Amino acid sequence: MTTTIPTLPMHIGGEDSVGSAGRFIEAENPATGEVIAQFPAGNADDVDAAVAAARDAFPGWSRIDPMQRARILNQLADIIVENADELAHLDVTDNGSPIREMRNDAFVGAAQLRYYAGLILQLRGHTVPTGQGRLNYSLRQPWGVVARIIPFNHPFMFAASKIAAPLAAGNTVVIKPSEFTSLSALRLGELAKEVLPDGVFNVVTGYGHEAGDALVAHPDIRRLAFIGSAATGRAILRRAAEVSVKHVTLELGGKNPLVVYPDSDIDIALDAATRGMNFTWQGQSCGSTSRLIVHKDIYAEFVDRLGAKLDDLTSGSPASEDTDTGAIVSQAQMDKVLSYIDVGRDEGARLVAGGSCVSADGLDAGRFVRPTLFADVDPASRLAQEEIFGPVLAAMPFEDYDDAIRIANMVEYGLTASIFTRDLDLAHRFAHDVEAGYVWVNDVSRHTPGTAFGGFKNSGLGREEDIEELESYTQSKNVHVNFGGQRRSE
């Protein structure tokens, strides 16, 4: 007996589309290896169609009363909340992360839509003193068609939250989700038809080098925002400039330090070292504090206790409410994680916890790797320098403040950083000196709504999740009015 899998269409101009080439990508459940659905491998023609639909929808969407736009975005948030369970289960089967986290992701997506809906009236220009008989003011105007390219690790959360600012600012959007996790974005496209006018929000699926590249290169897209790896981000920046001038922002990778001082509350710091690694997404999070830098006086005990904590995390079916850590999204990502575990061993780091796949009834067919801790990692080694984007934490000791900050800053990335200490002078000094866009003192992982997130160095360009993101979806126009009839010389 042959079983047919469902085909999920793209959403272009309010219509379902299976793509012009009739080619499909299979969505696979990382926890079971089962193919669960297929969706179109969109190409340049599909991107053209989506951009054309978004361009047609732009005049209407950009001109409606801003408060009406806000109401529509709030309605979309309501729809997401009503369907949160279904959306979360789609992500669980498509991405492999545990249900508790994926449910929360759905709510975060809705919350971001509400946040930007609420900010619409803050998109203000300025007036500039110019003397009697003259008026100079600025306007913030949307770019037109915005492209958003998103990664696999928070499929629905990114699909929903990353359309919020561009839509609130009056742009229309074409989004391309990861080829590994497209199902929930496609479902969002379907649900959004209930409230968004046709063409305002378009979902094109496909491979990065094909649909993604066509979006980056499209001359009618003047604003492009990318979330993904640093290598892809740099390639996109180059490629975008080949075709036209575009405003490009990039949210890229991280290899983030968590520094622990002996005066901190050690139990809280141990919890934070676990939480900060985002094992609940199998470590697949850009903000993960994947370098643990502990003062030499407490290092040995801290590492031993942390290893025991990681051993207690439950690997299991992502659909179970009791699972702490689920399955790795793709075979390529799994191979990468396992290859870095070999690198750690080869470089002489000491394996304290994990380091193996999970072999247990019901999980054998899936891609499960135990939360892994390496200690005594050389700060200059590959294990300490390269982003793994998996459940592998590298621990190393430090001598004094200068040593801690030297180690913290000696990577190409600069996304997040965290310090645990009761010494406020030290904490503020670290916050000032560390090369990172988002710093926690005695905390990790938390994204406080309305605060700017983004990276220094090779971690990116631009900031998101605050008003700066909203403003970045507008371009400024200056208007000079001479209403007094004066000549230039007066």
Within 411-440, the residues that bind ligand NAD by CB under 6 A are 415
Q: Which stretch binds ligand NAD (CB under 6 A): 3-11, 191-199, 224-232, 319-327?
A: 224-232
Site membership for ligand NAD, residue 209 (CB under 6 A): yes
- Residue selected from 93, 95, 112, 153 as contacting ligand NAD according to rule CB under 6 A: 153
- Residue 177 CB, nearest approach to ligand NAD (Å): 6
Shortest gap between Cβ of 139 and ligand NAD (angstroms)?
30
Residue 213 found at the interface with ligand NAD (CB under 6 A):
yes
Can residue 227 be called a binding residue for ligand NAD (CB under 6 A)?
yes
Work out whether 238 is an interface residue with ligand NAD (CB under 6 A): no
Q: Closest distance between ligand NAD and the C-beta of residue 350, in Å?
A: 26
Secondary structure of the chain in HEC code, one letter for each residue? CCCCCCECCEEECCEEECCCCCCEEEEECCCCCCEEEEEECCCHHHHHHHHHHHHHHHHHHHHCCHHHHHHHHHHHHHHHHHCHHHHHHHHHHHHCCCHHHHHHHHHHHHHHHHHHHHHHHHCCCCEECCCCCEEEEEEEEECCEEEEECCCCCHHHHHHHHHHHHHHCCCEEEEECCCCCCHHHHHHHHHHCCCCCCCCEEECCCCHHHHHHHHHHCCCEEEEEEECCHHHHHHHHHHHHHHCCCEEEEECCCCCEEEECCCCCHHHHHHHHHHHCCHHHCCCCCCCCCEEEEECCCHHHHHHHHHHHHHCCCECCCCCCCCCECCCCCHHHHHHHHHHHHHHHHCCCEEEECCCECCCCCCCCCCCECCEEEECCCCCCHHHHCCCCCCEEEEEEECCHHHHHHHHHCCCEECEEEEECCCHHHHHHHHHHCCCCEEEECCCCCCCCCCCECCEECCEECCECCHHHHHHCEEEEEEEEECCCCCCCC
Site map for ligand NAD, 458-487, x if CB under 6 A? --x---------------------------
Give the number of residues in contact with ligand NAD, rule: CB under 6 A.
Answer: 29
Among 253, 307, 379, 390, binds ligand NAD (CB under 6 A): 253
Binding ligand NAD by CB under 6 A: which of 286, 298, 427, 444? 286
Residue 205 touches ligand NAD, criterion: CB under 6 A: no
Q: Does 149 bind ligand NAD (CB under 6 A)?
A: yes
Could you tell me the smallest distance in angstroms from the CB atom of residue 389 to ligand NAD? 5
- Catalytic residue ranges: 251
Quick one: which segment of 171-179, 187-195, 312-320, 335-343 binds ligand NAD (CB under 6 A)?
171-179
Residue 176 binds ligand NAD, judged by CB under 6 A? yes
Spatial distance between the Cα atoms of 292 and 36, rounded to a whole number of angstroms: 38
Question: Is there binding between residue 41 and ligand NAD (CB under 6 A)?
Answer: no
> Closest distance between ligand NAD and the C-beta of residue 454, in Å?
7
Q: Does 156 sit near ligand NAD (CB under 6 A)?
A: no
Judged by CB under 6 A, does residue 178 bind ligand NAD? yes
- Closest approach, Cβ 216 to ligand NAD, in A, equals 5
Query: Is there binding between residue 385 and ligand NAD (CB under 6 A)?
Result: no
Q: Minimal distance in Å, beta carbon 228 to ligand NAD?
A: 3
Q: Report the interface residues with ligand NAD, using CB under 6 A.
A: 149-153, 176, 178-179, 208-209, 212-213, 216, 227-229, 232, 235-236, 251-254, 286, 387, 389, 415, 455, 460
